[in-house]
Amino acid sequence: MGGRPLGQHFLHDPQVIDQILSVANPQPGQKILEIGPGRGALTYPMLISGAQVLAVEVDEYLAAKLKPSENLRVVRQDILQARLDELLPDGPYRVVANLPYYITTPILEKVLQEGHGLITELVLMMQHEVAERIVKPAHRLSGSLTHFVRFHAQAEYLFKVPPTAFLPPPEVDSAVLRFTLHAAPEDCLPKRFFEILRRSFAQRRKMLRSSLKGLLQDEHFQKAGIDPQRRPETLHFEEFLALERSSRS
Ligand code: SAM
């Protein structure tokens, strides 16, 4: 992101801010975790709506500039170092964030993995390219992140945002997505499922038979109804689940 420290691209287009607020739809009394509030472009409008905002900002200067109030608590912390169960003991929370792009994936992994029971929904702005990877299963852009997200949540692409909406503008387009957390799929061993995903996409140009050697035999592929000559990017989420199930037999 143009080498910008801490991914600091601040929203300044009022129309885009309104668009995000209308999909985030903060309600009086609702608890919202905002990751990276920056100068408060989203924070202050959410407070006006009556929501209770917990803002986690790593930048000391920006965190000190935000004005805490009855409805705004500011925590100066790196979100990746936070323990969500300690940060959000009084949930459920919704998360609203214009993410720092240099750590989009680790933040997503953290909030989806640790957020069950604490977080119900997330409205997140991220790089358009990452958004596409998340919402395009069985596509050349899909990867382990696509299926990791699908394991934890239903992701919905909402709208695209151009670089001109930010100051300074980033070098890439952005997009806003909604994630609705759901329970993990039934009859699935998560550890084995994620190992299959990791191995499959570690060599995405290779056939599954070769990437999953030692973990799955041809008979497992047959049982799951999946041709072992396929490449990982052609598989849907349910097909990876079927592979994991058959690998146990
Ligand atoms: N929400 C503001 C806006 O929309 O104008 C700022 C968004 S800016 C893209 C990302 C924000 O995340 C910055 O304020 C940055 O300092 C903060 N940030 C970067 N890394 C962080 C981290 N590890 N934990 C918490 N906040 C972080």
Ligand 1 atom 12: the closest Cα is on which residue? 36
What is the C-alpha separation between 169 and 180, in angstroms, rounded?
A: 29
Ligand 1 in reach of 170 Cβ (< 6 A): no
Asked whether 74 lines ligand 1 (CB < 6 A), one says no
Question: How high is the pLDDT of residue 2?
Answer: 43
Catalogue the E-assigned strands of the chain: 10-11, 31-35, 52-57, 72-76, 93-98, 119-127, 153-161, 166-167, 174-181
- Out of 1, 4, 8, mutate this one to test ligand 1's pocket (max ligand atoms within 8 Å of CB): namely 8
- Best mutation site among 13, 59, 65, 72 for ligand 1 pocket (most ligand atoms within 8 Å of CB): 59
Domain boundaries, the chain: 5-181, 190-246
Q: What is the DSSP string of 142-157?
A: --HHHHHHHHHEEEEE
Residue located nearest, by CA, to atom 23 of ligand 1: 78
**Which CATH number does 5-181 carry?**
3.40.50.150
For residue 110, name the pLDDT band (cuts at 50, 70, 90).
Answer: very high
Q: Ligand 1 center to residue 121 CA distance, Å?
A: 19
Q: What is the 8-class DSSP label of residue 230?
A: S
Task: Tell how far the Cα of 66 is from the centroid of ligand 1, in angstroms.
Answer: 13
Q: What is the Å distance from ligand 1's center to 200 Cα?
A: 33
Average pLDDT of the segment spanning 138-164: 94
Q: Whose CA is nearest to atom 18 of ligand 1?
A: 36
pLDDT score of 4 = 58
- What share of the chain in percent tops pLDDT 90? 94
Collapsing DSSP to helix, strand or coil, 244 comes out as helix
* C-beta 125 within 6 A of ligand 1: no
* Residue among 94, 161, 153 at smallest CA distance from 123: 94
Give the pLDDT of residue 176: 98
Which is more confident, 74 or 4? 74
C-alpha to C-alpha distances, 40 to 19, 49, 66, 78, nearest whole angstrom:
16, 14, 7, 17
- Per-residue DSSP letters for 112-147? HHH-TTTEEEEEEEEEHHHHHHHH-TTSTT--HHHH
Domain 5-181 matches domain 190-246 at the CATH topology level: no
pLDDT at 140: 82
Average pLDDT, the chain: 95
Tell me if 163 sits within 8 A of 171, measured CB to CB.
yes
pLDDT for 1: 38
Residue 78 beta carbon below 6 angstroms from any ligand 1 atom: yes
Least confident of 141-150, 152-161, 172-181: 141-150
Q: What's the pLDDT tens digit per position in 58-105?
A: 999 999 999 999 999 999 999 999 999 999 999 999 999 999 999 999
Q: What is the pTM of this model?
A: 0.95
Residue 84's pLDDT is 98
21 lines ligand 1 (CB under 6 A): no
Q: What number is the average pLDDT over the span 182-188? A: 95
What is the distance between the alpha carbons of residues 185 and 151, in angstroms, rounded to a whole number?
7
pLDDT of residue 249 exceeding 90, the answer is no
Compute the distance between CA of residue 99 and CA of residue 107 in angstroms, rounded to an integer.
8
- Give the tens place of pLDDT for each residue, 129-138: 999 999 987 7
163 CB near ligand 1 (under 6 Å):
no
Could you tell me if 149 and 108 are in contact, meaning their C-beta atoms sit under 8 angstroms apart?
Answer: yes
Nearest to 73 by CA among 87, 90, 57, 53: 53
CATH of domain 190-246: 1.10.8.100
